[in-house]
Structure 1
Amino acid sequence: MTLRCAVLDDYQDVALSMADWAALAPDVEVRSLQRHFTSEGEVAEAVGDCEILVAMRERTPFPESLFARLPRLKLLITSGMRNASIDLDAAARHGVTVCGTASGSEPPAELTWALILGLARHVVQEGSALRDGGPWQSTIGADLHGRRLALLGLGKIGAKVARVGQAFGMEVMAWSQNLTDERAAETGVVRAHSLGELLEAGDFVSVHLQLSERTRGLVGASELKRMRRTACLVNTSRAAIVDQAALVQALHDGWIAGAGADVFEQEPLPADHPLRTAPNFLGLPHLGYVTRRNYEGYFQGAVEDIAAYLEGRPLRVLSARPAPPPR
């Protein structure tokens, strides 16, 4: 029996060129889908014939209701080893094995600095003016050297961002609910004793926390008002950590100097979303993990996961109860 596999949300149409999918033939027939489906009905209609699906990060959610619409599905692979949009308990109840792939922390750390530097030196505004025949120099850039970088979270990505900040000559401060003096000391970072202390001290505040019930809505209107009016906020982690309506108000009312984000609560971002036109906002379409090396790791890992699953020894299992292969 030939199994059907679909790669979802392959926006750049590169998935099939990033790995040796032919190694799965003739057992598996693979296709990629570039269009983002906005409803569960669209997803079910497009891939309801598939026993295997490959999901790109959290672009397509997999709640209980969608698993119920996909009775043929047996193996779901996500890029990376964590996907908050997949209900793992529901997957187990529906007999679906969920596996992950390797994921690098360098790309999102690098993109964080693209946003910080873009905001600090008004790169988009000045670059657009140069291309469009606008004024020659219309802004004054913000210095990094001697300023304070404030990090919400000091995990793998946060620590990489901290090292770059130190290389720029910035003082780096960090805070999270779990951050210890020992962890801060080993990375050469000053530990803030509260979120408020961190926000009040930072010239550039960057979010690097995991989304959880403790961090959802952690930065709201009252927290944004505690930031310096000359400070910028950057979020390359999860959109829901920062209250989006409060962020829009902060930009319009000048509570902060600017903000950059690579993550949004609804993706793709709706055309009429207020962040698209908010002043001093630098937004990117969730590019943090979108690099060639990361994509090769994702899709090569997906091929490995499928081959191992068919052999009865699934790799990098995330679901509660791995299901047997459909043979």
Structure 2
Amino acid sequence: MVVRIAILDDYQEVALTTADWSSIASQVEIDVFTDTLSDENSLAKRLEPYEIICAMRERTKFLPSLLDRLPNLRLIATTGRVNRGIDADYAKKKGILVSGTGNGGNATVEHIWTLIMSVARSIVVEHLNIRIGNPRWQTVVPMGLAGSTLGLIGVGRLGSATAKIAKVFGMRVIGWSPNLTPERAEAQGVEYIASKRELLGQSDIVSLHLVLSESTTKIINAADLNSMKTSAFLINTSRGPLIDEQSLVKALKNKEIAGAGLDVYEQEPLSLDHPLRFLDNVTLSPHNGYVNQSNYKVFWTDTVENIRGYLEGKPCSLLE
């Protein structure tokens, strides 16, 4: 009997070409979906026939209410080692396996610095000026990174890697998070700051590196944005809901901060009429901080192996 597989949210249509699926091709029937459905009724109707679902990171959420409506589902093969969009405990109770993959390279750190450099040097603004034929050859004086202050909210794996690069540019690096201690900050070569507001007030660039949880949701609110320098930039490559998005839009419109570089949003994909799309002091990317060729190769090669293990009765790389 052929096993039906759904590959979800393959925006770039690369899942089937990035890895070799030939080892399982005779045993499966694969459907690829390039769009994201947020309505649970539509999603449940689409996914009901499938025994295996391949999830690209957290683009589609698998909450108990959805899992209850997928009677044929036996394996969720997600990319990455962690997927907080899947209620793995509930899936386990229902006899649904959840497997994960490795990662390839340092795509997110590279993207963090792509956004920092883009906003600091106004790359997008000047690019568009040239493209539209603005007669003014130069319109913006870029921020110099040397001697400026990078404030890290979260100094874990990505935050500490970001700090190392900042030192190369001669930046002062300060850090705060709800759980950061002076000792941990010192071990990462980061100057410890005792309060969030103090860090925001001192920073020329603020970059978020926190896990999204109930306690960190909207950890940057209107009052926090008001604490930042009017010349400062905010970078978010972690999770959209860490920031009160409505307050951020207001702060950007009113030039309360100089600008922002964003890779993540409260709702993804970003709606076509979202106000962030129409602001001239924000640089946007479509949540592709983790996306690059080497990462995708590992993601999809491991996914094929995880599916093969399941088909052979030897499930592997299961998430706890």
Question: TM-score of the superposition, structure 1-length normalised?
Answer: 0.93
After TM superposition, the structure 1 = structure 2 runs for residues 125-274 of structure 1, keeping only pairs within 5 Å, are 125-134=125-134, 135-274=136-275
1:58-108 alpha-carbon deviations (Å, 9 max, x no partner): 111111221122110000011112222212233123221111111247111
Sequence identity, in percent? 45
1:323 is matched with which residue? none
Matched to 2:310, the amino acid is Y
Output the aligned Cα RMSD. 1.5
Query: Structure 1 regions of 5+ residues with no counterpart?
Result: 320-327
1:147-169 alpha-carbon deviations (Å, 9 max, x no partner): 01111111111111111111111
DSSP 3-state at the match of 1:61: coil
Q: Deviation at 1:16?
A: 0.4
Matched to 2:90, the amino acid is A
Q: Structure 1 203/104 Cα, relative in aligned 2: closer, same or farther at 3 Å?
A: farther
Q: Structure 1 38/263 Cα, relative in aligned 2: closer, same or farther at 3 Å?
A: same
1:100 aligns with 2:133: no
Question: TM-score of the superposition, structure 2-length normalised?
Answer: 0.95
1:39-76 alpha-carbon deviations (Å, 9 max, x no partner): 22332333322110101111111112211221100000
After TM superposition, the structure 1 = structure 2 runs for residues 62-81 of structure 1, keeping only pairs within 5 Å, are 62-81=62-81
CA contact (8 A) 1:7 1:33 kept: yes
Q: Deviation at 1:208?
A: 0.6
Q: Distance in 1 between matches of 2:105 and 2:207?
A: 15
Matched to 2:61, the amino acid is P
1:312 aligns with 2:309: no
CA contact (8 A) 1:106 1:157 kept: no
Q: Deviation at 1:186?
A: 2.5
Q: Distance in 2 between matches of 1:63 and 1:99?
A: 16
Matched to 2:157, the amino acid is K
Once structures 1 and 2 are overlaid, which stretch shifts more, 254-263 or 301-310?
A: 301-310
1:324 is matched with which residue? none
Matched to 1:130, the amino acid is I
Q: Deviation at 1:35?
A: 2.5
DSSP 3-state at the match of 1:21: coil
Q: Distance in 2 between matches of 1:25 and 1:211?
A: 37
Matched to 1:93, the amino acid is K
Aligned length: 319
CA contact (8 A) 1:151 1:206 kept: yes
CA contact (8 A) 1:150 1:198 kept: yes
2:53 is matched with which residue? 53
CA contact (8 A) 1:21 1:30 kept: no
Q: Distance in 1 between matches of 2:41 and 2:299?
A: 26
1:248-289 alpha-carbon deviations (Å, 9 max, x no partner): 111122221111110011111011112112341111111101
Once structures 1 and 2 are overlaid, which stretch shifts more, 305-314 or 130-139?
A: 305-314
Q: Deviation at 1:26?
A: 2.6
Q: Distance in 2 between matches of 1:272 and 1:84?
A: 27
Query: Structure 2 regions of 5+ residues with no counterpart?
Result: none
Q: Distance in 1 between matches of 2:262 and 2:316?
A: 33
